[in-house]
Chain A
Amino acid sequence: MTFNPNKHRLVPKHSKLSDKEKAKLLEDYGITVKELPKILINDVALEGLDANEADIIKVTRHSITAGETVYYRSVING
């Protein structure tokens, strides 16, 4: 690959939640995967994460108001 956008400083860190983490997250918020924000399976940021549909991606972002925040997205197949 010529350019890896995930290494760019403006691209927040994406990581995949394990099954256990996923179950805990859904339990904590009292939701199903459907209520989560979505990310397309062919999103470049998911490259190398081996993400499948209904997996949850944790996005760790820089935030102006809170320093660092986490955001969760469920993987969907367009």
Chain B
Amino acid sequence: MEGQEHIHKKVSSIVFGVISPKRMVDSAAAKVVTPELYDKEGYPVDGGLMDIRLGVIDPGLRCKTCGGKLKECPGHFGYISLARPVIHINFVRQILDLLKSSCRFCGRVLIPDDKINKYVGMLDKVTAEEGLEARRKKVKALVAKFKIKDKCPHCNKKQENFKLEKPYTYHEGENKLSPIEVRARLEKIPDDDLVVFGFNAIAIRPEWMVLTVLPIPPVTLRPSITLESGERSEDDLTHKLGDVVRINQRLFENINAGAPEIIIEDLWDLLQYHATSYFNNSVPQIPPARHRGGQVLKTLTERIKSKEGRIRHNLAGKRTNFSARTVISPDPMIQLNEVGVPMVMATNLTVPERITEGNMEYFKKFIENGPKKYPGANYVIRPDGRRKTITEETKEEILEELAPGFVVERHLIDGDVALFNRQPSLHRMSMMCHQVKVLPGKTLRLNPAVCHPYNADFDGDEMNLHIPQTEEARAEAEILMLVQTQLISPRYGLSVVGCIHDSITGNYLLTKELVLTRIEAIDLLFACGINEFSRLPKRDKVTGREVFSVILPKDFNFIGKDKSGNEVKIVNGELKSGYMDKSNLGQESGLLLRNIFEKYGPKRTSDFVDFSSKLGIHVLAKRGFSVGLGDLDLPEEISSKIKAAIDNSLAQVKKFIEDYHEGKLEALPGRGLEETLELKILEVLNRARNEGGNLAMTEAKESGILTMANSGARGNILNIAQMGALVGQQALRGNRISHGFIGRTMSYFKKGDIGTRARGFIGNSFRSGLDPAEFFFGAMTGRDALMDTALRTPKSGYLYRRLSNAMQDLKVEYDGTVRDASGKIVQFSYGEDGLDVTKTENGIIDVKKIIQTIG
């Protein structure tokens, strides 16, 4: 490199074309003349397909063309000169178009001279809009228009009709055209007329689409594999090229010997077949070439095409090293930003560490442990780049030569950084940086509080883990992607993690009703990882609020609302009033977490989520919490009240129906009679359910289920009402159920019965049990809901994918504008208000509050 001048060139244009036979020969390193591959000594034959002028794949040999060894020599093309030309299968269509549209004698395009110029402009427009294929189709249409007399407008000679006999035989009228004749025709077309077809005569001469020479790809493109038995197994391409060369040689010999025309024709056909299947072995109409075992050969087109091809498999779908994937499961005892990694993974995934004088002794222990014993090391990379596997045998030697500058690939240990990801990665929170915690077991463990940003659950979900391998990558991951830094969602400016389920219930009960002894309180807090109790009042009895206050930051002030609308007041880190429920601790809700984040930063917020969720769980473990059928028991008077409410509604509906039949029902404005009736019935029945639900709720005794619904941990009022009071009207698309038989939903009802029971009203509760008809209606709506989600998920996923792909490189510039990759302005101010949502509270900037905090 030294003293060399770097020449920078800019690509100004690219021309796509077809390679000419001359260029193939000129750029070839060797001419292949024999199908033999190796001689008796196993050395590549000169002029064979594995000729060492085409590159080398054997270690030790040197390339005759460039002198490079294996891995240095990129390989070189060779060529075969074909005894007779063959049609290139991928240009069959284009050749047919050209033949049909040009004169068989003078080669001119079959459009009169005076008209050509007129149409070129129109053709250019078609090309710009629809492409070259459309242009040629258009030319054909034009030619058909001018060919009424079947005569060439230039030389006035009669034209014949061309036909393609698939896959590659052309007929002119009744006569078969040989590739030689086809080539001759194509040669006649003048350069100027090619423009009409959209060919650039410099890059493509049509006759080049009929092959007279076949390029041989370098051996590096089709390496042979040496089997364990020492036998060589050649690549599919080499096999196919061998066939081509063999037939080509036989054809040469037969022509030179003056063999009868039939034999030559047959061989020519065979050559055409082999050349075709070399390019594409899945052409319809021709049998695919096979191995001896019957397995289909993978030739050029198959290498590139389809899902297993080079593009989708190797280029768009590259695999990563240093990554792992398994089933996930919850572990509420690890921290929010940790990930539990199973031991087997930890011993297989490695982190490279550079040996220095300071850490040499430390890493010697890893090497001593070897690959099997944890924490060990799997490889050592010497300063010269040689990689050595650590085994029982090599261990001693490696320890001996270990010196600063070596790199040890050691096992994962607690505290290593890892990227953790769950597909579909729709968010930036779908891939976050976690700290490794090596655990026994075979699943990846994560804190249930981070399930929400990943949208993960534990019904068999799998997640991926990636281990950054360089200092830069680790730093980047830690600074930009650590779980703590991702707490506030850029979508709505609230925390995406928070307490869930039992943690909420626990905190709710703690702050609502619990009074503990000081010892119990300290016990509880210590279990959550707190060992500083000076903030706990020095009394024998402390309230739950005082216990909760210990985990709040010391000088934190907050005013908000809890789920039931009471004021939550925190003064100087002490919870004065209100309960801790979902609207303050929950994910995606409430400003408590948001405000802690703003004032105390990422670390403190994630600690707070950790502490509070552990506190909740431990409170429940200490106090005890359970739900059961008894939770739904209602006092006698309440159940009779509920029954009365239902009966009352049913009577009202009955009255409506009677009115309707007697014609006394008055239609609502803009509605028909039937519609009015349906609306009124629905309204009454819905009211019945609400009444029943409210009765069940207000008079129900304190129960586990009620606590869960009130704290927002799980379930809602409606669920409780359906379990305890009545399930209510089942509806499909907003209407009462009316499907099934003619005039009735089930054969069990009378025709024309539009009463409550016949149209899907469930007067029972889940506790009292549904009768068969009710159960069936419930199943109908249940199935409908299931179908709906099953159908909607992929649809909305695709919509989102299109949206995110369309907007993927939009960027907010420093001047606040949103621009695309080429600098074009999309929005003059991001979101029209220029706000960074992560810096707002639920999309709002509370100026009043900011002034208060400053003043």
- A: residues with CB less than 8 A from B are 29-31, 34-37, 63, 65-66, 69-72
B832 touches A36 (CB 8 A): no
A66 adjacent to B815 (CB under 8 Å): no
Interface of B is mostly: loop
Give Cα A30–Cα B824 distance, bound, in whole angstroms: 11
User: Digit string of B798-834 for contact with A (CB within 8 Å is 1, else 0)?
Assistant: 0000000000000000010101000111101101111
* B residues contacting the other copy or chain, number (CB 8 A): 15
Do A63 and B833 touch (CB < 8 A)?
yes
Could you say which of B825, B826, B831, B832 contacts A29, with CB atoms under 8 Å apart? B825
Closest A-chain residue to B820, C-beta based?
Answer: A35
In the complex, B835 has a CB within 8 A of chain A:
yes
Q: Which of A29, A30, A34 counts the most B-chain CB atoms under 10 A from its CB?
A: A29
Contact check, A63 vs B828: say whether CB atoms are below 8 A apart.
no
Structural contact, B825 and A69, CB atoms closer than 8 A: no
User: A residues within 8 A CB of B834?
Assistant: 66
CA of A7 to CA of B828, assembled, Å? 25
Contact between chains at A70 and B828 (CB < 8 Å): yes
Q: Is the CB of B825 within 8 A of A37?
A: yes
Q: Which residue of B lies closest to A63 (CB)?
A: B832
Cβ B832 vs Cβ A35 within 8 A: no
Q: Are B829 and A29 in contact (CB under 8 A)?
A: no
A65 adjacent to B833 (CB under 8 Å): yes
A71-B824 CB under 8 A given contacts A29-B817, A65-B835: no
What are the nearest 10 A-B pairs in CB distance? A66-B833, A65-B833, A69-B832, A63-B832, A66-B832, A35-B824, A65-B832, A65-B831, A35-B825, A35-B823
- B480-515 interface mask toward A, CB cutoff 8 Å, 1 = contact, 0 = none? 000000000000000000000000000000000000
Closest to B831 in A: A65
| CB nearest to B826 among chain A residues | A37
A71 CA to B827 CA, complexed, in Å:
8
Selected A-B contacts with CB under 8 Å, 6 pairs: A31-B825, A34-B824, A63-B832, A69-B829, A69-B832, A72-B828
Question: Smallest CB-CB separation from B834: which chain A residue?
Answer: A66
Residues in chain B near residue A71, CB distance under 8 A? 828
CA distance A65 to B844 in the complex (A): 9
Q: How far does the Cβ of A63 sit from chain B's closest Cβ, in whole Å?
A: 4
Q: A37-B826, A72-B828 are in contact. Are A29 and B815 (CB under 8 A)?
A: yes
CA distance A63 to B823 in the complex (A): 24
Point out the residues of chain A lying under 8 angstroms from B825, CB to CB. 29, 31, 35-37
> Given the complex of chains A and B, what is the CA–CA distance between A35 and B834 in angstroms?
19
Q: Give the chain B neighbours of A72 by CB distance below 8 A.
A: 828
| Chain A contacts for B829, CB-based, 8 A | 66, 69
* A58 CB, nearest partner CB in chain B, Å: 10
Q: 1/0 per residue B371-393: CB within 8 Å of A?
A: 00000000000000000000000
Complex interface: chain A residues within 8 A of B819 (CB):
35
In the complex, how many angstroms separate the beta carbon of A17 from the nearest chain B beta carbon? 13
Closest to B822 in A: A35
A31 and chain B: residue at smallest CB distance: B825
C-alpha gap A37/B810 in the complex (Å): 14
Q: Hey, which chain B residues are within 8 Å of A65, CB to CB?
A: 831-833, 835, 843
Which chain B positions have C-beta within 8 A of A66? 829, 831-834
**A36 CB to closest chain B CB, in angstroms?**
6
B815 to chain A: closest residue by CB:
A29
Cα A63 to Cα B834 with chains together (Å): 12
Q: What is the chain A residue whose CB lies nearest that of B833? A: A66
Question: CA separation between A34 and B819, bound complex, in Å?
Answer: 13
Return A74 CB to nearest CB of chain B, in Å: 10
Q: What is the CA–CA distance of A35 and B824 in the complex, to the nearest angstrom?
A: 4
Name the interface residues of B345-399: CB closer than 8 Å to any CB of A: none
Report Cα–Cα, A29/B843, bound state, in Å. 26
Give chain B residues whose Cβ lies under 8 Å from the Cβ of A30: 815
Residues of B within 8 A of A69 (CB): 828-829, 832-833
Question: Bound complex: CA of A60 vs CA of B692, how far in Å?
Answer: 52
**Looking across the interface, which residue of chain A has its beta carbon closest to that of B823?**
A35
> Separation in Å of the B531 CB from the closest CB of chain A?
46
Please report which residues of chain B, range 52-89, place their CB below 8 angstroms from some CB of chain A when the two chains form the complex: none
In whole Å, how far is A33's beta carbon from the nearest beta carbon of chain B? 11
> Once bound together, how far apart are the Cα atoms of A10 and B121, in whole Å?
42
Distance A70 CA – B834 CA, assembled complex (angstroms): 12
Contacts of A35 in B (CB 8 A): 819, 823-825
Question: Which A residues lie within 8 Å of B815 (CB)?
Answer: 29-30
Chain B minimum-CB-distance residue to A30: B815
**What A residues does B833 contact at CB under 8 A?**
63, 65-66, 69
Q: Tell me, in angstroms, the Cα distance from A29 to B815 when the chains sit together.
A: 8
Q: Separation in Å of the B50 CB from the closest CB of chain A?
A: 56
User: CA–CA, A72 to B817, complex, Å?
Assistant: 12
A30 to B828, CA, bound (A): 12
Bound CA–CA A13/B28 (angstroms): 68
12 further contact pairs, Cβ within 8 A, besides A37-B826, A69-B832, A70-B828: A29-B817, A30-B815, A34-B824, A36-B824, A36-B825, A37-B824, A63-B832, A63-B833, A65-B832, A65-B833, A69-B828, A69-B833
A31 engages B823 (CB within 8 Å): yes
Question: A73 vs B829: C-alpha distance in the bound complex, in angstroms?
Answer: 14
